Amino acid sequence: MKLSIEEKKILYAFGCGSHENTVRRLKWVTALTVDEKVKRRVLCLARKLDDGGAGEWYPCFYRHLRLEMESYFEAKKYIRMVEKSTDWEGFYGKAV
């Protein structure tokens, strides 16, 4: 199953190791969401996960997703730190 980064973030925030509970939770989030674009995204993800056969491989997929997203957020943190620490041109003038 291919997921976009937005779908992975939604699943990281609202998912759990149980396939049935995750699909149910995503449907509840869809019902409570006000923004139409977000509602459509969450509902599409719930439908994608609710397709037949996902219950068997979902726990392994979810563990892999958690590891992938943790390293993604860690990399974003390092990128922000590098961007903050390399903005020294204001002190010394423009680089040649």
Q: What is the pLDDT of residue 89?
A: 64
Q: What is the pLDDT of residue 55?
A: 78
For the chain, which residues make up each domain, given as ranges? 5-86
Q: Rounded to whole angstroms, how far apart are CA atoms 64 and 14? A: 15
Q: Are 42 and 29 in contact (CB under 8 A)?
A: yes
Q: What is the pLDDT of residue 64?
A: 94
Q: Please state the pTM of the whole predicted model.
A: 0.75
The CA-atom distances, in angstroms, between 30 and each of 2, 4, 10, 54, 90 are: 21, 18, 11, 20, 46
Per-residue pLDDT of the chain (96 residues; tens, 9 = 90+): 788 999 999 999 999 999 999 999 999 999 999 999 999 999 999 999 998 777 788 999 999 999 999 999 999 999 988 888 776 666 666 655
